[in-house]
Homo-oligomer: A and B are copies of this chain.
């Protein structure tokens, strides 16, 4: 298809917009313009099914000078504004990628994607699959065999089909079927996961027609029983009207009477910068990664060029079909931006909250808002530091105020609460809370299997892993960084260490792109350094250390598709040499992928990453962390959030604790109140009763000695 005639003139009535920052998310006008441009290049204007329509972030070689100029207050260089579009010709498997240059008003590239690659799933498809499944005569016939009440409402959760080396060329869906409580079928929020069915239709990804119906094994082995009457076991509802609610939880409010300490500054329609306690960064949002942070600085020192969750993989442990294909890449297969919750609806945030709206594109190329997709707020997280001089009893104490930038995604049954958290000690963390409902499948009552837990009569929750990959594009005091491995070893017993107590730190710079692991026995950890920037106190290169909890890597065997596909899931850390567009650790297209196109492949290039004379290079660090989910009854019907956190902490980056200048914790400001024994339930009249006196005088106490 020729792109010669792909340019367009600006619409006459277009309002002259202030130029968007190169990292601002696409505006509604930009989305429509790009969609229209793509539709226009295809001869005959076929019906386009848009799958991806996002900002095509500028090449780093252009963006770094732009950001430098921005921070220095110089004239900003021009960078073309581009949009990446991936699309199907509707109801075909003709998958394409295009880049639309909005500045030059032309489609600058358009290519057919290899037929091995499949697009992610969109909401439109989820709806179409569910509809077609229940209109299918074969499915209806199977459902009838269940012998459930006539008005039973059946539910379909469409899943990506997964990969097995057999059908990978065909884009398909595996539908898992459930029923609302058959005794309460009008309850639109009935927990259908309590009634999983053994009927599992497979749907063609182009026509959305049912092409086959799989039957799920419900015994202890591979045997499949024909569908027949099933018993109705009790429901397991999670909505509050179905609980005997506790009545003794007293309200707890977080109040900021002078407002919040952060400043959120909008730029144009979609751009936003956050400044808080010497931190500054830009927030972006796109359909795949959801929240992205750019240009993260502390006290105007450069720290991170880009931070975002790169992908996650949830492989399941049931060896039997169809579950051998069950492994989800929630970002690559669907998208964290697409699945972002509206945080106002859910009362997710407590205190003084700032919301950011997101904007993605729907399958027709229209802007599709995600209102309140991100929330920003402060929280108190206990004491940051304290010291009491025991001789004078004078305490110096500072509280740990944090800034939280949070988004929540719902992926059918599961929820993930994702948050970047900053504190005043120069530390930034990425926290994931896994909650929501475990994926369920039917099991005959009274049976058990060694790869899952029965959480409810007839309901099996198979074990699985949650493995996350956080992509860190560092710029620690600049763009020449190295990855250093640091271990602690005992000194040998000898004349220099006659008592056997000595130990030292041994460090080595990682020379080539590779996968690496932490090691508790040697306290092996990794830090990102800038060899050109030395700490004035002790001469050590400034660094940020990675604090990530060790976790069991992908359990599935190396020969398995689970392992081949989730390229990040076999090491704690990957380090690669920066290349534009290498953003997604599992590869660009994860839906029914086969592997070979993600971070493991990039690391296998063995690029040198120490730079000229070991002075550092442009590297990317991928930090994995995860959870081995051996399901328990307490995870049902909704799971108490499991909390995972990765922290990046300064190591000889500052000359001293950067939070020494945080004002002390004082009762005058804290306004804590005292609650007495046996009085905890009494209504306290403001601060009249039981204020905490004598607290934190800023004057020196009388010295005792």
Other than A252-B256, A347-B667, give 7 A-B pairs with Cβ distance below 8 A.
Answer: A246-B663, A344-B693, A347-B695, A352-B675, A463-B503, A523-B552, A633-B655
Contact bitstring A490-533, B, C-beta under 8 A = 1, else 0 = 11010011111111110000000000000011110000000000
Binds B, one of A234-242, A358-366, A473-481, A608-616: A234-242
Which of A401, A561, A682, A695 is the most central at the interface, judged by chain B CB atoms within 10 Å of its CB?
A695
- A-B pairs with the 5 shortest C-beta distances? A319-B502, A500-B557, A500-B560, A425-B640, A324-B499
Complex Cα spacing A496 to B451, Å: 12
Kindly list chain B residues whose C-beta atoms are within 8 Å of the C-beta of A9: none
B164/A499 in contact, CB under 8 A: yes
User: Do A393 and B345 form a contact, CB below 8 Å, given A246-B662, A522-B552, A653-B634?
Assistant: yes
Contact bitstring A635-671, B, C-beta under 8 A = 1, else 0 = 1111111000000011111111111111111110111
Contact residues, A141-169 vs B (CB, 8 A): 155, 164
Asked if A472 is at the interface (CB within 8 A of a chain B CB), the reply is: no
Kindly list chain B residues whose C-beta atoms are within 8 Å of the C-beta of A435: 383-387
Kindly list chain B residues whose C-beta atoms are within 8 Å of the C-beta of A254: 252-255, 380, 672
* Contact residue among B347, B504, B520, B655 (Cβ-Cβ distance under 8 Å from A552): B520
Complex Cα spacing A404 to B121, Å: 44
User: Do A695 and B394 form a contact, CB below 8 Å, given A259-B675, A262-B680, A317-B502?
Assistant: no
A259/B681 in contact, CB under 8 A: yes
A236/B656 in contact, CB under 8 A: yes
Q: Can you spell out 18 A-B residue pairs with CB atoms less than 8 angstroms apart?
A: A188-B392, A188-B394, A240-B664, A243-B661, A253-B255, A254-B255, A259-B682, A264-B677, A319-B496, A319-B497, A324-B498, A377-B675, A385-B436, A451-B502, A456-B537, A501-B557, A634-B656, A635-B657
Complex Cα spacing A379 to B674, Å: 14
Contact residues, A314-364 vs B (CB, 8 A): 315-319, 323-325, 327, 341-342, 344-355
A650/B672 in contact, CB under 8 A: no
B127/A503 in contact, CB under 8 A: no
Asked if A244 is at the interface (CB within 8 A of a chain B CB), the reply is: yes
Asked if A588 is at the interface (CB within 8 A of a chain B CB), the reply is: no
B256/A260 in contact, CB under 8 A: no
* Contact residue among B222, B387, B453 (Cβ-Cβ distance under 8 Å from A652): B453
A257/B253 in contact, CB under 8 A: yes
Asked if A114 is at the interface (CB within 8 A of a chain B CB), the reply is: no
Complex Cα spacing A201 to B347, Å: 61
User: Do A259 and B253 form a contact, CB below 8 Å, given A264-B680, A324-B499, A696-B345?
Assistant: no
Binds B, one of A25-33, A42-50, A223-231, A697-705: A697-705
Complex Cα spacing A272 to B249, Å: 21
* Contact residue among B436, B553, B556 (Cβ-Cβ distance under 8 Å from A501): B556
Binds B, one of A55-63, A84-92, A410-418: A410-418
Complex Cα spacing A353 to B670, Å: 12
Asked if A486 is at the interface (CB within 8 A of a chain B CB), the reply is: yes
A660/B638 in contact, CB under 8 A: yes
Contact bitstring A116-151, B, C-beta under 8 A = 1, else 0 = 000000000001001000000000000000000000
Within the complex, the shortest CB–CB distance from A666 to chain B, in Å, comes to 6
A505/B463 in contact, CB under 8 A: yes
Q: What residue of chain B has the Cβ atom nearest to residue A446's Cβ?
A: B539
Kindly list chain B residues whose C-beta atoms are within 8 Å of the C-beta of A433: 382-383
Complex Cα spacing A342 to B315, Å: 50
Complex Cα spacing A347 to B678, Å: 23
B662/A633 in contact, CB under 8 A: no
Kindly list chain B residues whose C-beta atoms are within 8 Å of the C-beta of A252: 254-256, 351, 378-380, 401
A450/B505 in contact, CB under 8 A: yes
Q: What residue of chain B has the Cβ atom nearest to residue A674's Cβ?
A: B353
User: Do A251 and B243 form a contact, CB below 8 Å, given A265-B677, A266-B678, A641-B384?
Assistant: no
Asked if A391 is at the interface (CB within 8 A of a chain B CB), the reply is: yes
Complex Cα spacing A262 to B393, Å: 30
Contact residues, A428-465 vs B (CB, 8 A): 433, 435-437, 448, 450-451, 453-457, 463
Complex Cα spacing A677 to B537, Å: 39
Complex Cα spacing A448 to B539, Å: 9
Contact residues, A382-411 vs B (CB, 8 A): 382-397, 399-401, 408, 410
Complex Cα spacing A319 to B377, Å: 47
Kindly list chain B residues whose C-beta atoms are within 8 Å of the C-beta of A675: 259-260, 264, 352-354, 377
Asked if A426 is at the interface (CB within 8 A of a chain B CB), the reply is: yes
User: Do A188 and B700 form a contact, CB below 8 Å, given A254-B253, A634-B652, A674-B355?
Assistant: yes
Asked if A604 is at the interface (CB within 8 A of a chain B CB), the reply is: no
Asked if A535 is at the interface (CB within 8 A of a chain B CB), the reply is: yes
Within the complex, the shortest CB–CB distance from A420 to chain B, in Å, comes to 14
Complex Cα spacing A109 to B353, Å: 64
Complex Cα spacing A395 to B380, Å: 26
Asked if A577 is at the interface (CB within 8 A of a chain B CB), the reply is: no
Within the complex, the shortest CB–CB distance from A7 to chain B, in Å, comes to 35
Which of A251, A660, A678 is the most central at the interface, judged by chain B CB atoms within 10 Å of its CB?
A660
* Contact residue among B319, B354, B663, B682 (Cβ-Cβ distance under 8 Å from A680): B354
B698/A241 in contact, CB under 8 A: yes
Asked if A551 is at the interface (CB within 8 A of a chain B CB), the reply is: yes
Asked if A71 is at the interface (CB within 8 A of a chain B CB), the reply is: no
